Structure 1
Amino acid sequence: MKQQWKGLDIEAEGEGISRPLSRNVNLLGSMLGHSVRSIAGEEMFQLVESLRSRCKSAYEAGSDKESVRDEIQRELKSLTPNQMDWLLRAFTSFFHLVNRAEQLEITRINRERELKADAEQPRDESVMQAVHYLTRKNISYEEFLRIIDKLDMEPTLTAHPTEARRRSILHIQQNISNLLMRLNIESLIPSEKEQLLSELFSQISVLISTDDVRSTGLTVYDEVRNGLYFLTNSIWNTVPRIFTDLEDASEIYYGKRPELPAFLKYRSWIGGDRDGNPKVTSEMTSETIRHHYEAAFENYEKALSDLWYELSISSRHTIVPDLLRESIEEDNRKIDTGLDIEGYWHEPYRLKIHFMQEKLEQQKVSLKDSNEMGEGPYPVNDFLNDVQQLITSLEQGGFRQLAERGSLRKLQYQIKTFGYHLASLDIRQHSEVYQKCVGEMFRLAGVHPAYRSLDEQEKVALLQSELESPRPLIPRHAELSDASSELMNTFGVVAKALDRNPDVIGSIIVSMTHEVSDLLEVLLIARETALWVYQDGQVASKLDVVPLFETVDDLTASRKVMTELFQNSIYQKHLANRGQFQEIMLGYSDSNKDGGYWMANWALHKAQEDLALVCDQHGVTCRLFHGRGGTVGRGGGRSNQAILGLPQVCHNGKIRFTEQGEVISFRYALPTIARRHLEQMVNAMIRSTAGASHEKTHHFNSDSKAVAMMEEISHRSMKAYKTFTRRDEVWKWYAEITPIEFISALPIASRPVSRKSGKEVDFDSLRAIPWVFAWTQTRYNLPGWFGTGEALNSYLKDHPEDLEMMRRLYQESRFFRSVIDNAIRELARAHLEMAERYSRQAENGYHQDIVSEFEMARDHLLSISQEDELLASNPVIRKSISLRNPYTDVLNMLQIELMHRNRDEALKTSKLRHALFSSINGIAAAMQSTG
C-alpha cells in the first residue's frame, strides 16, 4: 500500500528552483514532518508547523512581519526545554536535508550538461573545456605537455574548527543522498520506489533522533581520523578520474593519450599544525604519520585484492609478454610466498599481483619497525614499476582498453599521487615559539644571554654566524623549557620520518612571520636535529621553510622581508640546495579580521604580485599557498575564479590552498561534487598557466588609476572597519548579543577556539574563525562586507567621475568583480531584521550603525554592478536564500530565547547549554557556514 506522508508543506517552487530540486525538497519536508508526528506526537508536529507557517507568512506581501515575529518570540518564552529541543532538532534536520538536496541538484545539473556536451561544445569549466580552449588558441601538443608539466597543485586539509556536524550526522546525510539518487532513476518499478521511500523515511527518522552535539570535544586523533576518511574515500577515488579526464581530452583534441605527471597531490595539517593547539604533540605527529601509512596500505591491499579477481587472464588463451614472465621469475627467486607457483603459472597476472601483495606486506612491516632506516624492501617506485609492467604487458597482450582505462591505470595514478604516505604532513608553529626556543639555546650555550632583546639586524647577524658554525649549539640532552623541548622533539620526529620517506613531511610553516630572523631561527633548530647541515661552504637541507604572512601590515611588508631573505648569503645556499624553490603562505582569515573585507582583499592581491615578482627577480621558483577559509569573511568563494583572478605574474602553474571544516565536508562528501570541484580547479590552472585568463581581460595592477582608486578605498574601508570594531563598548556589545561565549565552548575541535572565555573576549584574543562564526549566527555577516559602504560612499563623493571606471572594471577585471560579487552575496545572506533582535539583548546597541553601513554598501555595490537588487543575476542563489530565510528565523528566535534564559542563574543547566550548542549547529546548517 502506498504511504501518504503527512508532514510539512514546504512549497519550494518558483523562479530559481528546478522541478527535480523542488520535488526533492518537498518530499523531504513532508517526510520530516511525518517523522516528527510519529516520534514526538501530534502536538509537537503542530507546534513545528505553526512556527514554520507563521515565519513563512511574515515574508508575504502586506504582512505585518515584525508583529508576527514578536508574537512568536513571546510564545517561545513559555515553551518547555523538551519542546525547545524538539524544535531545534526539527528545523536543524530540515537544513541537513535541504543541503543534501542542493548538493544532489548540483550533481544532476552537471550530469545533464555532460550528456549534452560534445567535442565542439564541452561542458563549462571541465577538464575537456580547458584542453579544447588550448586547441582553439593553436597551442600544440608539445606545448600542452609543457603546460601540464608546469602544474603543481596541492590542496591542503586542515583541522580548523569550522565543521559543527558530528560524523554520525554526516554518515546519515550520506545515506540520504544515496537514497535520493536512486529515487531519481526513472526506470524504478513501483515496489522498488516504495522500498526506497520507506528507507528514506527511516533514515530521516534516525537523523532527527540523533544527537547533533558531541558529548565530548574532538581529540586530535578524531580529527586525523576524519581527515583520513575523506582522503581514503572520495579523494582517493576521484583523483584518478581527473587524470583520466585529461587523458581523454588529450586523445580527443590531439589524437594522443599521454601518461601524465602527478600534478595533483594532497597535503594535511591535521596532526601537524600545533599553532595554538598544545594537544598536537611530537608524539601525536608521529602517530599521525603512522595512521597515514596504515590507511594508504589498507587501500592498496584492497586495490590489489580487487585486481586479483579482475585480471584472471589465462596464458592458455592469450600471449604472455616476456616482460611479465621475466618479472615473475625474478620475484620468485627473491620471495618465498608459500604459494603453489606451478598451479598458478597459467594465470601470470594473478601470479604477479600475488608477489606484489607479498612485497607490500613486507614494506608495511618494515615501516612499523621504528629501528629500521631507509625506504624499506619495496620502495614506492618499485611498486609503481610493477604496476607499469602489468599495464605494458596488457597492452602487448592486446588488452589496450583495459590497460588505458582499467583499475591498473587508476592504481598507477593513486600511487603517483598518494605514495605510501597518503598526504604530506606540514608542521606549523608560531614564530614566537621558535624565537623563544632559539633564545633558550643561545643562553644555555653562552652565546647570548638575552637574544630576544636584540634588534632585527643583530638577530640576523648572530643567527648567520651560528648557522655557519660547524659545532652543535647545545648538548643533546640540554635542559630546555617544556615548550622548547617539545619543539625539539617535534623536529626529531620530522628527521626520523624523512629518513624513511622524503615525501612524508611537507613544509615547516612559520605562523605570524614578521622578519627574516623568524625563518633563520627555524634553520638553526633544524641544524640541531640534523635536518639542516652546513659544511665546506655548502648547505644540505631536508626541508622547506615557509613564511606565513597574516596581518595587513605583514602582507604589506612581505616583499621587503622576502627581498632581504633572498639577499641573505646563508639562505641563498639553503635555496640552492632546495632547487631555488620557495613557498610563501598568505593568511586570508587574519588579514580580514585585522583590516576588514576590502583592505584584506586588496592587501592580498598586492602581496601576491609583489611576492611573485620578488621571486622572479631573484631567480627563485615561487609557489603561493593561499590560506583561505570557507566564508567570504575568511577569504572564501569559488576557488577556480580566485585562481583566474590572481595577478598575471602568479600564473606559473604552482598553487596550494587550504580546505577546512565544512568546506571539506561539502566538497568531498559526494564523489560527483568532489570531481566537479577538482575539475574546476584543474580547468582554471590549465587556462591560467597557458595565459588564457588574461586574454581580453583587464590587467588590474597595470592600470595606475585603478590601483590608486583601490588603494584609497581600501584605506577608507579599513578606517571605517577599525573605528567600529576596535571600540571597547562595541566589543562588550558583541560579547553580549552574539553566542560567542558558547561558540568558544562548542566541542567541535581539539584546538581552543579562543584564548579567553566569551565574557572576557577582546579583539586580539579572539581568533578569526569564531569572530566570523558569531557574526554569521546573528545574520549580520559583518566580516564579509563591513567598511565597504562608508569607503565607497566617501570616495564617490570626492570622485564621482570614477563610478564609470568601477563599472568598467566590474566587467573587465576578474579580481575586481570577485570583490564586488562576494560582498553582494554576503549582503544578500544577511538579515538585519533578525539581527536587530539579537541587538535588543544589550542596553546600548550599535545596530543602527551597522544598518547605515549596510545600506550604503548595498546601494553602491548595486550601482557598480548595475543591478536593481542583490543577486538579481543569480536567481538560483537568491531562491535558495529566500527558501531558507523563514526556517532560519525560527532557529534564530529559539537561540535568542535560549540566550535570554541563560542569563537567569536559576535556569542555567547542562540541558540549556546543550540546547544552545544545538542552536549554533542548526544556524550553521541553515547558513551553510560557520567560520
Structure 2
Amino acid sequence: MTNTFQRVRKTDIEGRIGDLPSRTIFKDNGIMRELSGFDIDAGGGVSAPLRYHVNLLGRILGNVIREQAGEGIFSLVEDLRHHAKAAEASRDPVLFEEIYHRIHSLDLDDIFWLIRAYTAFFHLTNEAERREIARINAEAERSQTDQTPRSESILEAVFKLKTSRQSYESVRTLVDRVEIEPTLTAHPTEARRGSILFKQNEIARLLAKVSPDIGLSAAEIGKRIGRIHREITLLMVTDDIRADRLRVEDEIENGLYYCTTSIWETIPRIFADMQEAFETYYGKAPDLPPFLCYRTWIGGDRDGNPLVTPEVTREALAVYRKAVLEKYREELQALWQQMSVSALRAPFPPAVAENIAGETDTVRLDPQFLHRYRHEPLRVKLSCMIEKIDRLLADPSEAGYTAQDFETDLCLIRDALASAGLGAVAREGRLNDLIIRARVFGFHFIALDIRQHSQVHEQALAELLRQAGTVVDYASLPEDEKIQLLATELENPRPLVGCRTELSSATADVITVMTLIRDAAPGAVQSYVISMTHGVSDMLEVLLLAKEAGLWGIRDGAVDSRLDIVPLFETIQDLERSGELMAEIFQNPIYQRHLAARGNFQEIMLGYSDSNKDGGYWTANWSLEKSLSTLADICRDHDVDFRFFHGRGGSVGRGGGRANQAILAMPAQSQNGRIRFTEQGEVISFRYAQAPIARRHLEQIVSAVLQAASPDHCGIECSPPMRETMEAISQKAMAAYRDLIDDPAFWNWYQTVTPMEHIGRLPIASRPISRKSARKVQFDDLRAIPWVFAWTQTRYNVPGWYGIGTALSTVMEARPDALGMLREMWRGWPFFRNLINNVQLEMARTHLTVAAFYDRQSSLSFHNRIAAEFERAEKAILAVTEQAALMENQQVIQKSIRLRTPYTHVLNLVQIELLRRWRDAGADDDALGALRHALFLSINGIAAAMQSTG
C-alpha cells in the first residue's frame, strides 16, 4: 500500500512539471522560484490572476510549514494532497481507502498539523477567490458605458427603467417607496475566530498589491511577498478555535465591527450610485430617502437563548448608540478640518449667522476660539455640533439633540455652501456622505429587533391573567375564547397587575423587555418578531404584554402603538395556513385599530430554515412561494401595506443562494419594493469583510428590488398545469424526505455518523443548538443550523436536495408530457430555474464516496438509500436542464468546486478517523480533551473548504 501511495504522488508530479506559473504570461522574474512550498495548479478554466494568486499562496504556505513543522510534515501534506487529487480524478475507492489508512496510522500531533495545513490552504484560497471577485467587478465597472452598464448594477436597473419609457417622476416615486433592510443576526454559522478573520483580510489586502500585471520591479514584488509570508506565518501560529464560548456581548461587538467599517463606508457609495444613475439617464437627481437601512437581532433575539437577558438588550442599545455617535464625532472633526471657508471670500446667507448666534447662546465655546474663527462660520457651527455630540456621549439620557436636529444642521451647512457658490463641495464628498449616513443610521445606528417564542408569551400572559383573577388556566382555553379574552383586556384601561406584584423571573423578563422598548430612543426598536406563530392569539398576546408595559394603549379613543408585531411562519403547516391566519387577524377589530396606529402597515416573516428541516428543500420552497402570493393578495384585499421579511440562512438548505436572483424570482404580486432579509455568520463575513464586496452585494440587491418593483416587471404566471405539477412534485418530495427522517433508526444513525455532538460544543456562539435540553437533543428540538451544519460536514448535503429525485422521476414516469413542461418551466420561470440551480449546486458539492466513510461508523446504514436518491435526482435534473453534468451551465462555480474537492477529502477522512478515536477513547479525560480539540479544528477546516456551515 505504501508503494502505491508513493507511486501515485511521483506520477502526479511528473505529469505537471510543464504547468508552473513561469510558463504563463505572468513572469515570475525569479521571485516565485525562490519559494519551495506547495506548487498548486488551479486548473483550466480559472482566470490567470486567480491561478497566479492560488499558486503564490500555496508556495508561501508550504514554505511556512517547512519552517514551522519540518520537512517530514511538509512531505506528509504533499503526499496526501497528490494522492487525494489522483483519487478524485480516478474515483477509485481503493485510493480513498489508502488515504484513510495512511491517516489512521498517524499520531495525533501529525493529524493536528494536517488539519492546520489544509485549513490554512482553504482560508488562503477563499481570500484569493474573494480578491478575484473584487478584481472582476472593478474591471467590469471600468469598461461599462451609458449604453452598456454593468450587469446587476444600479446603473443597469435605472437604464432598463429608462428604456422601458419610465419617466423621471415615476422612477423617483418608485425609489421613494423602496425599503431594503438587511438584518444582521448572531446565528452560529461563522466558525472562524475574529483573529483569523483579521489576518485573512490583511492577506487579501496585501494580495491585491502583488498582482502580476501591476508592473513592479522584482525587488519590490519580493518585499511584498515577504509581507504576505509574515502574515501567513502568524496565521499558522494563531489558534483557530476560541478558548471560550462567545458571549452575547462578543456577538454584539462582532456585528458592530462590520457596521463601523465596510457598511459605514459602503452606504454613501450606494446612494451616490443611485444619484449617478439618475443624472446619467434623466439629467437630474432627486434628494434620496433612506431606501437602504440596517437592522439587527444581535442582543435582541431571545428565542431559546437564555443569555440574551433584559440587561444584555439594554447594553446592546447603548453600545449601538455610542458607536454611531463616536463615528459622527470623527466625521465632524474631519469636516472641521475641511471647512476652512472664509465668509470674507464666500458670502453666506444671513440664516447661517442667525443659526450660529442661537447656537452659541446654548453651547458654550471658548471666547478666544470664537474670536479666532470669527470669519469661518462653518467651523464654528461644526464645533457647536461636536459639543452637542459630546454631551450625548457623556450622558446617555440627554435628549436635547436629536437625530433629526443633527441632519438639519448638516443640511444647513450644505445649503450654505450651495448659496456661497460652492455647489460641488455641498453635493459631493464628506459632507454629503455624512448627511446620507445621518438619514440611514440616525442616533441608533442599527435598529434592534426583539424576537421571542410564542410559547413564552402564552406562559407569561397565563401568569398575569391568573394573578389578576381573570382566568385560572389561560393556556388551556380554545383559540376563539383566547381571542375574545385578549380583545376584552386590550380595551380595558386597567393593567392586569400592579407594579409591585411579584412575578416569576421569566414573566418579569418579558415585561422588562417591553419596558426597555418603551424607553428606547426613536427608531432604536421597531419590530417584535414572534417565533412559531400558530394563531391569532399569538399576535394579540404580544399587544397585551406591550399594553402592560405602557408600550401600547387606547388614549382618547385612539390606539397608540409604538411597535410592529411581526408573525414568523416557520413550519410547512404554518406556511400553508398563514394566509388564513392573516385574513383572520386583519378582520379582528382591535388589531385593525392597532394597524391604523402603525400606518396600516404589516410586516410578515417567513422562515426558510425550519420549513426545510420540517418538509425538505422542494416542499419548503414551494410552500414559501405559495405563501408569498397568498399573503400579498390578502394584504392588498384588506388595504394593508406590507413588507416580507425573509429568514434566510447561508446554506442552500436554509434558504441561501444568490439573494438578488431570489428577489427577481419571487411572485410578481409580492413585489412592492419593501423587503427584509437576514444575514448571518459566514455570510456577514463574506459579504462585508471588504468594502468592494459589500458594495457589489448591495448594488445587486438594490438593482433587483428596483427591477422587481417596477410596474413593467411581469413575473411568469404560474399556470394551473404548472401549479398542478409543482404540487405533485412537492407531495412526493416531502413524502420521500419524511420517509427518511421518520425512519425509527434514522436519528440514532444521524447522531452516530455526523459530528453533530461536537458542533453543539463549538465555542462559536452564545446560543445552544437546541431550544430545549442541550444534553439529550431530539430531532424536533434541534435547531436548523446544526442540522444543516452536520450534513455539510459529512458531504451528504441532504437538506439541499433529498427527495427531489423520487419526486421528479415519479412525476415524469406518470405523465408523458411532464418532462416537456418541466423543461419549459426551467427555461421560462425564474423561480423554478433558481430552485433547480440551488439543488444542483448542493448536489455538485456532495461526495458520496467520502460520505460512505461516515456511514461506516454505524452498525445501521442509510448510505445506499441516500445514494440511490442522489442517482435519481441527478438523472432527473440532467434531463430537465438538458446538461451533460451538474453545474455545466455555471462553469465558474463548477471549476471552483473541482479545485477544492480533493483537498477537502483529506480533512473529511481526518475527521472520520478522529470520530473513530473519540468513540474508542473511553473515559480518558486527557485523550478526550485533545481529541475534542482536534475535532473542533476539523469542523472548522471543512467549513472553510465548503465555504458553508449551516
TM-score with structure 2 length normalisation?
0.95
Deviation by residue 1:470-515 (Cα, 9 ceiling, x = unmatched): 1111111222222111111111111111xxx220002111000000
Within 2, Cα distance between the matches of 1:450 and 1:66? 62
5 Å matches for 1:889-908?
Answer: 889-906=905-922, 908=927
Within 2, Cα distance between the matches of 1:598 and 1:682? 27
Q: Tell me, what secondary structure is at the counterpart of 1:554?
A: helix
5 Å matches for 1:181-196?
Answer: 181-184=208-211, 186-196=214-224
Do the aligned residues in 1 keep the contact of 2:571 with 2:610 (CA within 8 Å)?
A: yes
Within 2, Cα distance between the matches of 1:760 and 1:82? 32
Q: Shift of residue 399 of structure 1?
A: 2.1
5 Å matches for 1:475-874?
Answer: 475-497=498-520, 501-694=521-714, 697-700=715-718, 703-755=719-771, 760-874=776-890
Q: Shift of residue 355 of structure 1?
A: 1.3
Q: Tell me, what secondary structure is at the counterpart of 1:285?
A: helix
Whether 2:135 is the aligned partner of 1:108: answer yes
Deviates more, 1:355-364 or 1:264-273: 355-364
Q: Tell me, what secondary structure is at the counterpart of 1:505?
A: coil
Do the aligned residues in 1 keep the contact of 2:123 with 2:944 (CA within 8 Å)?
A: yes
Deviation by residue 1:526-571 (Cα, 9 ceiling, x = unmatched): 0110001124542111111110000000001101111110111110
Deviation by residue 1:152-209 (Cα, 9 ceiling, x = unmatched): 1111000111000000000001100110112226143443322211110110111111
Q: Tell me, what secondary structure is at the counterpart of 2:817?
A: helix
Find 1:134's aligned residue among 154, 161, 168.
161
Find 1:303's aligned residue among 331, 353, 359.
331
Within 2, Cα distance between the matches of 1:710 and 1:228? 42
Matched AA of 1:246: M
Within 2, Cα distance between the matches of 1:402 and 1:65? 67
Deviation by residue 1:38-96 (Cα, 9 ceiling, x = unmatched): 11111111111111111111133xx4732222112112122121111111010001000
Matched AA of 2:391: Q
Within 1, Cα distance between the matches of 2:812 and 2:557? 58
Q: Tell me, what secondary structure is at the counterpart of 2:449?
A: strand
Q: Shift of residue 814 of structure 1?
A: 0.6
Runs of 5+ consecutive residues of structure 1 not aligned to the other structure: none
Do the aligned residues in 1 keep the contact of 2:526 with 2:562 (CA within 8 Å)?
A: no
Do the aligned residues in 1 keep the contact of 2:840 with 2:886 (CA within 8 Å)?
A: yes
Aligned to 1:237: 265
Within 2, Cα distance between the matches of 1:567 and 1:91? 59
Matched AA of 1:175: E
Aligned to 1:450: 473
Find 1:97's aligned residue among 107, 124, 138.
124
Aligned to 2:179: 152
Percent identity over the alignment is: 48
Deviates more, 1:189-198 or 1:705-714: 189-198
Within 1, Cα distance between the matches of 2:175 and 2:781? 44
Matched AA of 1:7: G
Q: Shift of residue 318 of structure 1?
A: 3.0
Within 2, Cα distance between the matches of 1:591 and 1:676? 30
Deviates more, 1:475-484 or 1:882-891: 475-484
Within 2, Cα distance between the matches of 1:158 and 1:461? 35
Within 2, Cα distance between the matches of 1:232 and 1:727? 49
Do the aligned residues in 1 keep the contact of 2:304 with 2:772 (CA within 8 Å)?
A: no
Do the aligned residues in 2 keep the contact of 1:362 with 1:378 (CA within 8 Å)?
A: no
Find 2:417's aligned residue among 389, 394, 403.
394
Whether 2:96 is the aligned partner of 1:72: answer no
Aligned to 2:12: none
Q: Shift of residue 327 of structure 1?
A: 2.5
Q: Shift of residue 364 of structure 1?
A: 2.7
5 Å matches for 1:243-282?
Answer: 243-282=271-310
Deviation by residue 1:748-773 (Cα, 9 ceiling, x = unmatched): 10000125778844321211000000
Do the aligned residues in 2 keep the contact of 1:506 with 1:543 (CA within 8 Å)?
A: yes
Matched AA of 2:317: I
Q: Tell me, what secondary structure is at the counterpart of 1:413?
A: helix
Change (3 A) 1:307 1:187: farther
Do the aligned residues in 2 keep the contact of 1:608 with 1:650 (CA within 8 Å)?
A: yes
Find 1:887's aligned residue among 903, 925, 934.
903
Within 1, Cα distance between the matches of 2:393 and 2:778? 49
Deviation by residue 1:298-330 (Cα, 9 ceiling, x = unmatched): 111111111112222233433334333332222
Q: Please list every run of at least 4 consecutive aligned residues from structure 1 whose deviation after the TM superposition is greater than 6 angstroms.
A: 756-759
Deviates more, 1:395-404 or 1:111-120: 395-404
Matched AA of 1:923: I
Aligned to 1:918: 937
Deviates more, 1:324-333 or 1:3-12: 324-333
Within 2, Cα distance between the matches of 1:912 and 1:139? 64
Within 2, Cα distance between the matches of 1:292 and 1:453? 41
Within 2, Cα distance between the matches of 1:636 and 1:733? 27
Matched AA of 1:699: E
Find 2:41's aligned residue among 11, 29, 43.
11
Whether 2:318 is the aligned partner of 1:318: answer no
Runs of 5+ consecutive residues of structure 2 not aligned to the other structure: 1-29
Q: Shift of residue 14 of structure 1?
A: 0.4
Matched AA of 1:100: E
Aligned to 1:54: 83
Q: Over aligned residues, Cα RMSD in angstroms? A: 1.4
Q: Shift of residue 253 of structure 1?
A: 0.5
Matched AA of 2:122: F
Within 1, Cα distance between the matches of 2:724 and 2:556? 50
Paired residues in the alignment total: 915
Q: Tell me, what secondary structure is at the counterpart of 2:733?
A: helix
Aligned to 1:286: 314
Within 2, Cα distance between the matches of 1:887 and 1:410? 45
Find 2:253's aligned residue among 225, 232, 240.
225
Find 1:120's aligned residue among 147, 156, 165.
147
Q: Tell me, what secondary structure is at the counterpart of 2:242?
A: coil
Deviation by residue 1:314-365 (Cα, 9 ceiling, x = unmatched): 3343333433333222222221122521111222222221111112112333
Within 1, Cα distance between the matches of 2:282 and 2:361? 44
Matched AA of 2:668: Q
Matched AA of 2:376: E
Do the aligned residues in 1 keep the contact of 2:31 with 2:218 (CA within 8 Å)?
A: no
Within 1, Cα distance between the matches of 2:383 and 2:209? 37
Matched AA of 1:445: A
Q: Tell me, what secondary structure is at the counterpart of 1:800?
A: coil
Do the aligned residues in 2 keep the contact of 1:92 with 1:922 (CA within 8 Å)?
A: yes
Matched AA of 1:896: I
Aligned to 2:22: none
Change (3 A) 1:863 1:334: same
Find 1:463's aligned residue among 474, 482, 486.
486
Do the aligned residues in 2 keep the contact of 1:165 with 1:921 (CA within 8 Å)?
A: yes
Do the aligned residues in 2 keep the contact of 1:58 with 1:68 (CA within 8 Å)?
A: yes
Within 2, Cα distance between the matches of 1:756 and 1:513? 18
Matched AA of 2:85: K
Aligned to 1:167: 194
Do the aligned residues in 1 keep the contact of 2:31 with 2:221 (CA within 8 Å)?
A: no
Do the aligned residues in 2 keep the contact of 1:552 with 1:600 (CA within 8 Å)?
A: yes
Matched AA of 2:36: K
